[in-house]
Structure formats: structure tokens, C-alpha cells
Amino acid sequence: MDFVSPIFVSPIFDIYTDYLIVNPGQTTATGLEALSEGKIKHDSITRALSEKDYTWRE
């Protein structure tokens, strides 16, 4: 098995993936913005997700 080095992931990406895991329904960046009462803007989530092409390992 090859060693996979740790990959830096933005804190917003971590928050969004947690949101995806715990939310049983439809999930959107604007939904997370509403859930965070505007503290996390949907544009910053979209920007964080579009920084690179993610694989299933990330």
C-alpha cells in the first residue's frame, strides 16, 4: 500500500463535508449559509470547493 501524504483542506471544506454527512436531505452552500446564520457565506463555500479537483480520497 502506498503512503498517502496529508493534504491541506480548508476549514470551510471540513465544515461543508460535515454538513453533508449529518444532513439527511438536500444540501446546498446556501443552506449551510442559512444554518450558520450568515457566518459562512455561500460564495466562500463555492470558492473553497472549486479550488481543485477532489478525489474520493479527500
Terminal-residue alpha carbon distance, the chain: 17
Residue 26 C-alpha cell reads as 438536500
pLDDT band at residue 41 using 50, 70 and 90 as cut-offs: very high
The residue count for the chain? 58
The ranges assigned to domains in the chain are 11-49
> What local confidence, expressed as pLDDT, does residue 8 receive?
58
Share above pLDDT 70 across residues of the chain, in percent, rounded to a whole number:
79
> What local confidence, expressed as pLDDT, does residue 5 receive?
46
Higher pLDDT among residues 58 and 28, named by residue: 28
